[in-house]
């Protein structure tokens, strides 16, 4: 980590999963023991080859049993002693915590069989990798935008640290840091948290980004992400925030009714490559951007609408294409109006033909309008 004052404490939960406490100066030592009885750890299963489209699919039937929208006093992400149910986090208070997911799609002990199919149709592999939960705060009622800027910086350092460590694992091909917020997105735990997936292959969307970046670099000798950023900054009509190190803009061909990309001005492959000044500004700009999302729509009474969103960090693959890839955040919402969802219906789900009902320039103007 670039912030050398941050303290990292690694411990184990009752079933052997790792838990990592990330603390700012002055935080108490993390010594609490998981009081839950030792249970058999749940491991991921297998990934199956979808020969029709040339992609892998994880089969993880144990995830059907994961905790679903519990009441506050049964939240497994609240600190120990704050509810009627045992917590995933043994400490009675915490700042930022990372732990291995109890119901992983990918894990080190994946139990699937490595069985390549001679015909190339029914191949399987163990779903090796790692799924982590990142808790941003112990406050159950908070949201990421409510965090102080210093805490946002700690989360950024945590993402960067986990990107570096997970990407170095031999079985990992890609590291994806993301946050889902809102029941409309499919969140099963309302406590403010994100996740990190370390995949044993390059997922389809990431592979598409790499292919496009590689083609552009071969043709021009330049980075596609840098050229897009320069073009958006020059045009200006879709720019939302322009800082010293970062620019937020609504992309020219936005697919979602609300979609913002946040990109660094310097060419970097991933979060770990950001320097201290870039991380400092990112903490302020990202918090600003999330706040604007919750002022984007107003309800019939004129009050703000809490916007569901997916915040997806698009990073370079862990092992290949790092010289042509460029970091950016893709922040999207499925809400096309108060109480109205953008459904991925026939065209989007059937053939991948996207239709956006909102002009990107209009969305950018609204995001500028609701600046703090």
Binding positions for Zn(2+): 75, 78, 140, 191
Q: Is the dihedral of CA 237, 243, 245, 246 positive or negative?
A: negative
How is 129-179 classified by DSSP, letter by letter?
SEEEEEE--S-TT--GGGS-HHHHHHHHHHHHHHHHHHHTSTT--EEEEEE
C-alpha closest to that of 143 among 194, 188, 99: 194
- Which residues touch 307 (CB under 8 Å, ≥6 apart)? 182, 258, 293, 294, 296, 297, 333, 335
Name the 3-class secondary structure at 93. Answer: coil
Residue 125 is encoded by which pair of tokens? 């592999």
Euclidean distance between CA atoms 255 and 259, whole angstroms = 7
Euclidean distance between CA atoms 128 and 47, whole angstroms = 9
Q: From the annotation, which residues make up the binding site?
A: 75, 78, 140, 191
Euclidean distance between CA atoms 149 and 194, whole angstroms = 17
Q: Report how far apart the first and last C-alpha atoms of the chain are (Å, whole number).
A: 30
* CB 94 within 8 Å of CB 105: no
Residue tagged active-site, from 193, 216, 261, 328: 193
Rg (CA), the chain: 21
Strands, sheet with 246-249, edge to edge from the N-terminal-most edge strand: 7-12, 18-23, 96-100, 130-135, 193-199, 174-181, 309-314, 328-333, 258-264, 246-249, 239-242
Residue 275 is encoded by which pair of tokens? 């320097």
* CB 238 within 8 Å of CB 253: no
Euclidean distance between CA atoms 186 and 228, whole angstroms = 31
Residue 155 is encoded by which pair of tokens? 């989360």
Asked about 193 being catalytic, the answer comes back as: yes
Q: What is the DSSP letter of 115?
A: B
Residue 29 is encoded by which pair of tokens? 């030592």
Give catalytic residues, as residue numbers.
193
């Amino acid at each position: 980590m670039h912030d050398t004052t941050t303290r990292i404490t690694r411990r184990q939960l009752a079933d052997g999963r790792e838990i990592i406490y990330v603390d700012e100066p002055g935080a108490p030592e993390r010594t609490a023991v998981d009081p839950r009885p030792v249970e058999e750890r749940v491991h991921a299963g297998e990934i199956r080859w979808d020969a029709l489209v040339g992609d892998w699919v994880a089969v993880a039937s144990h995830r059907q049993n994961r905790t679903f929208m519990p009441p506050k006093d049964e939240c497994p992400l609240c600190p120990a002693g704050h509810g009627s149910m045992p917590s995933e986090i043994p400490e009675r208070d915490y700042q930022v915590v990372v732990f291995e997911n109890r119901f992983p799609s990918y894990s080190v002990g994946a139990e699937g069989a490595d069985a390549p199919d001679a015909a190339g149709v029914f191949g399987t592999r163990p779903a090796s990798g790692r799924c982590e939960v990142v808790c941003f705060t112990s406050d159950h009622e908070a949201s990421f935008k409510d965090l102080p800027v210093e805490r946002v910086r700690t989360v950024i350092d945590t993402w960067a640290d986990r990107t570096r460590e997970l990407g170095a694992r031999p079985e990992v091909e890609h590291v994806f840091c993301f946050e889902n917020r809102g029941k409309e997105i499919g969140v099963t735990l309302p406590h403010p948290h994100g996740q990190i997936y370390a995949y044993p292959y390059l997922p389809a969307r990431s592979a598409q980004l790499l292919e496009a970046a590689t083609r552009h670099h071969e043709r021009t000798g330049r980075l596609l992400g840098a050229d897009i950023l320069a073009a958006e900054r020059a045009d200006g009509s879709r720019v939302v925030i322009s800082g010293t190190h970062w620019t937020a803009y609504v992309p020219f061909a936005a697919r979602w009714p609300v979609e913002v990309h946040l990109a660094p001005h310097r060419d970097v492959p991933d979060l770990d490559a950001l320097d201290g000044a870039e991380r400092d500004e990112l903490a302020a700009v990202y918090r600003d951007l999330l706040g604007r999302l919750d002022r984007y729509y107003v309800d019939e009474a004129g009050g703000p609408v809490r916007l569901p969103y997916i915040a997806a960090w698009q990073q370079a693959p862990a092992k290949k294409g790092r010289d042509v890839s460029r970091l950016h955040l893709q922040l999207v919402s499925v809400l096309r109006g108060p109480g109205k969802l953008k459904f991925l219906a026939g065209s989007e789900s059937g053939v991948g033909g996207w239709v956006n009902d909102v002009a990107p320039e209009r969305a950018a103007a609204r995001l500028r309008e609701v600046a703090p």
